[in-house]
Amino acid sequence: MRTRILFFLSMSAILFFGCRKNEAEIQKQNSSEASIDPKIEAFLSSFEKSFTKTLNRSGAPGAVVAVVVDTAKFSKGFGIRDMKTRKKVDQHTIFRIGSLSKGFAAVLAGIIAGEGKLDFDEKVHKLVPNFKLKDSLQGERIAIKHLLSHSTGLPRHAYTNLVEADVPINTIIDELGNVDLIAREGEIYSYQNAAFGIIEVILKKKTGKKFNTLLKEKILRPSGMSRSTTKHLDLISDSNVALPHLFASRSKGFVRGTFTDKYFNLPSTGGIALSGNDMSTWLSILLGNYPDIITNEELDKVFEPVLPTRSTKYYDRWSDHPTEYALGWRAIDLDSTQILHHTGFVNNYRSEIAIDRKNKIGVCVLFNSFVAEAKEVVPAFLTAYGENVLVGKNIEGDQSPEILPAN
Number of structural domains the chain divides into = 2
Query: Does residue 174 sit in the same domain as residue 322?
Result: no
Query: Does residue 222 sit in the same domain as residue 271?
Result: yes
Q: Count Cβ atoms within 10 A of the Cβ of residue 333 and give its class: 0-12 exposed, 13-18 middle, 19 or more buried.
A: middle
Residue 120 falls inside a structural domain: yes
- pTM of structure: 0.88
Query: Does residue 133 sit in the same domain as residue 146?
Result: yes
What confidence score (pLDDT) does residue 13 get?
Answer: 34
Q: What is the DSSP string of 274-299?
A: EEHHHHHHHHHHHTT--TTT--HHHH
How does DSSP classify residue 123?
Answer: B
What confidence score (pLDDT) does residue 317 get?
Answer: 65
How does DSSP classify residue 32?
Answer: G
Query: Does residue 154 sit in the same domain as residue 289?
Result: no
Q: What is the mean pLDDT of residues 27-33?
A: 36
Q: What is the mean pLDDT of residues 218-222?
A: 98
Residue 59 falls inside a structural domain: yes
Cβ count within 10 A of residue 278: 25
CA-closest candidate to residue 277, choices 28, 73, 99, 49: 73
Q: How confident is the model at residue 16 (pLDDT cuts 50, 70, 90)?
A: very low
Query: Does residue 236 sit in the same domain as residue 361?
Result: yes
Query: Does residue 190 sit in the same domain as residue 227?
Result: no
Residue 217 pLDDT exceeds 50: yes
Q: What is the DSSP string of 355-400?
A: EETTTTEEEEEEESS--TTHHHHHHHHHHHHIIIIIT-----SPPP
As a whole number of angstroms, the distance between CA 118 and CA 207 comes to 9
**Which of these three, 154, 185, 207, is where a domain ends?**
207
Nearest 5°: phi and psi at 338?
-120, 135
**What is the three-state SS of 136-176?**
HHHHHHCEHHHHHCCCCCCCCCCCHHHHHCCCCHHHHHHHH
As a whole number of angstroms, the distance between CA 382 and CA 355 comes to 9
**Which of these three, 177, 207, 237, is where a domain ends?**
207
Residue 11 pLDDT exceeds 70: no
What confidence score (pLDDT) does residue 186 get?
Answer: 96
Residue 160 pLDDT exceeds 80: yes
Residue 145 falls inside a structural domain: yes
As a whole number of angstroms, the distance between CA 316 and CA 323 comes to 9
Residue 328 pLDDT exceeds 50: yes
Lowest mean pLDDT among 26-40, 63-77, 203-217, 306-320: 26-40
Q: What is the mean pLDDT of residues 35-55?
A: 83
- State what percent of residues in the chain have pLDDT above 70: 85
Q: What is the mean pLDDT of residues 16-29?
A: 32
Q: Residues with Cβ < 8 Å from 19, sequence gap 6 or more? A: 73, 91, 224, 277, 278, 280, 281, 406, 407
Nearest 5°: phi and psi at 391?
-90, 5
What confidence score (pLDDT) does residue 124 get?
Answer: 98
More confident of the two residues 28 and 389: 389
**Which of these three, 147, 180, 207, is where a domain ends?**
207
Query: Does residue 242 sit in the same domain as residue 367?
Result: yes
Assess contact for 262 and 164: CB atoms under 8 A.
yes
Query: Does residue 116 sit in the same domain as residue 202?
Result: yes
| 112-122 burial: b if 16+ Cβ within 10 Å, else e | bbbeeebebee
Query: Does residue 227 sit in the same domain as residue 336?
Result: yes
Residue 402 falls inside a structural domain: no
Residue 382 falls inside a structural domain: yes
CA-closest candidate to residue 342, choices 6, 73, 126, 102: 102
Residue 24 falls inside a structural domain: yes
As a whole number of angstroms, the distance between CA 256 and CA 60 comes to 11
Query: Does residue 181 sit in the same domain as residue 61?
Result: no
Helix orientation angle between 198-207 and 169-176, rounded to the nearest 10 degrees: 120
Query: Does residue 135 sit in the same domain as residue 82?
Result: no
Assess contact for 189 and 308: CB atoms under 8 A.
yes
pLDDT digits (tens, 9 = 90+) for 344-400: 999 999 999 999 999 999 999 999 999 888 888 888 788 778 776 776 433 333 233
Q: What is the mean pLDDT of residues 290-318?
A: 85
pLDDT digits (tens, 9 = 90+) for 67-93: 999 999 999 999 999 999 999 999 999
What confidence score (pLDDT) does residue 10 get?
Answer: 30
| Domain hosting residue 156, numbered range | 112-207
Residue 395 falls inside a structural domain: no
Any idea what the CATH number is for the domain that residue 257 is in?
A: 3.40.710.10
- State what percent of residues in the chain have pLDDT above 90: 70
Q: Residues with Cβ < 8 Å from 109, sequence gap 6 or more? A: 118, 120, 144, 148, 199, 202, 203, 302, 327
Q: How confident is the model at residue 312 (pLDDT cuts 50, 70, 90)?
A: low
pLDDT digits (tens, 9 = 90+) for 164-185: 999 999 999 999 999 999 999 9
Residue 31 pLDDT exceeds 70: no
Query: Does residue 147 sit in the same domain as residue 179?
Result: yes
Residue 330 falls inside a structural domain: yes
CA-closest candidate to residue 154, choices 129, 173, 169: 173
